[in-house]
Amino acid sequence: MTGGAQPASVVVIGAGQGGQQTAVSLREHGYQGRITLISGEDALPYERPPLSKTYLKDGAYLRGDKQLWLRPATYYVNQSIDLVAGTVTGIDRTARAVRLADGSSYEYGHLVLATGARARTLGVPGAGLRGVHTLRTVRDAAALGASLAAARRAVVLGAGFIGLEFAAVARESGCEVTVVETRSRPLARVVSARAAAHFTRLHREAGTHLLFGQGVAALHGDRRGKVAAVETADGRQLPADLVLFGVGAAPHTELAAAAGLPVDDGITVDARLLTADPHISAIGDCASFPAPRTGGRLRLESVQNAVGHGRLVAERLTGSLRAYDELPWFWSRQFSTTLQIAGVDERPDREVVLGDDPDAFSVLLFRGNELRAVESVNRPGDHIAARRLLHRRVPLSPAGATAPGFTLKGYLTGASTG
């Protein structure tokens, strides 16, 4: 669908925040056709970020998932959005229909793949023991919360956002926590060495044991089939009542691949989020899309990206032809510290640090003379200014950022009035 007549029906596979936003935005833009939102979970569309944070605290998971709902059930009824719980087993591109495991099928004028991603695990012995968890869904979070309530010692495999956020919650609950990470520092793929050093100190001061540069050989259980220890690659035994795999996520691309759509670390889409089939879009965690600011391609696992994708597809299906050009941004909350990131660049060649407080600073990441991203630790004002600067593509060089008295807010104000 590239403009012109609107499709008679839209089927969205995946009811996460991207899929749900597609349906909501279609109605907001006046779309009158049939909308079918297919969820692989028997739950109303809900927020995922709290699952590794507030949803695990103080038994919040015991109060059910209503607190996470993006919209109440009545909204979908009133907006004539058909919510379907089921597993899609195939896409017939010729007939423009999707098949479900229960034998039902749904025809589409346009199909939106919002299939998301799955939590990765490690192929080590013992991965199937009781007390070993991944964290992706509300059901995962409820099971993890129940295990945490009874655990004295937890081992987290992976020091990414999910692993560290859960480690913080577990320490606050009084659990002894060890984090095992194969790389030399936490958050190695997503933040600078300066920010990583801060989170290393933060967790160690809270009593978390951090093992860097270390792999896992096996998980060992007791006679009842429950996890009891983690064996590291160098032979150490780490006692554990609970183990969480926090080793990243893999995009759900199987349906697209089986339907003959190009896949490369995500479902390949163009700048308007269309696949090779003009009647099929892909959005959110499962989509690999052109990076408009830096070149190459991106696959981002973030709420902001999924929501932005959903809105753009809804706009396109109701007449807009704009390309996706939103600035990526991310956040994480660990203990009393908030990290906010604006922009993305995995290969900066220059860093400038703003702020003298070891617990409140920003790291400006440059490639050459171009500002690519800003990491802000407990400096929300810097984050807001950085998003505006990067969105407007206001030029800023390392020399300018190191000038006496420089602040992001002041520079933004000057650029706006100059």
Confidence of residue 201 (pLDDT cuts 50, 70, 90): very high
Confidence of residue 4 (pLDDT cuts 50, 70, 90): low
**pLDDT mean across residues, the chain:** 96
Structure confidence by residue, pLDDT tens digits, 148-164: 999 999 999 999 999 99
Instruction: Calculate what percentage of the chain has a pLDDT beyond 70.
Output: 99
Query: Would you say the CATH fold of 336-417 matches that of 9-118+250-317?
Result: no
The pLDDT of residue 80 is: 98
**2 has pLDDT over 50:** no
Structure confidence by residue, pLDDT tens digits, 81-112: 999 999 999 999 999 999 999 999 999 999 99
Pick the CATH number of 121-247 from 3.40.1390.30, 1.10.1740.10, 2.40.110.10, 3.50.50.60: 3.50.50.60
Q: pTM here? A: 0.95
**116 has pLDDT over 90:** yes
Structure confidence by residue, pLDDT tens digits, 223-253: 999 999 999 999 999 999 999 999 999 999 9
Residue ranges covered by each domain of the chain: 9-118+250-317, 121-247, 336-417
The pLDDT of residue 334 is: 98
142, amino acid identity: A
The pLDDT of residue 72 is: 97
What homologous superfamily does CATH list for 336-417? FAD/NAD-linked reductase, C-terminal dimerisation domain (3.30.390.30)
Q: Can you give the chain as a three-state secondary structure string? A: CCCCCCCCEEEEECCCHHHHHHHHHHHHCCCCCEEEEEECCCCCCECCHHHHCHHHHHHHHHHCCHHHECCCHHHHHHCCEEEEECCEEEEECCCCEEEECCCCEEECCEEEECCCEEECCCCCCCCCCECEECCCCHHHHHHHHHHHHHCCEEEEECCCHHHHHHHHHHHHCCCEEEEEECCCCCCCCCCCHHHHHHHHHHHHHCCCEEEECCCEEEEEECCCCEEEEEEECCCCEEECCEEEECCCEEECCHHHHHCCCCECCCEECCCCCECCCCCEEECHHHEEEECCCCCCEECCCCHHHHHHHHHHHHHHHCCCCCCCCCCCEEEEEECCEEEEEEECCCCCCEEEEEEEECCEEEEEEEECCEEEEEEEECCHHHHHHHHHHHHHCCCCCHHHHCCCCCCHHHHHHHHHHC
Question: How would CATH label the architecture of 9-118+250-317?
Answer: 3-Layer(bba) Sandwich (3.50)
**172 has pLDDT over 50:** yes
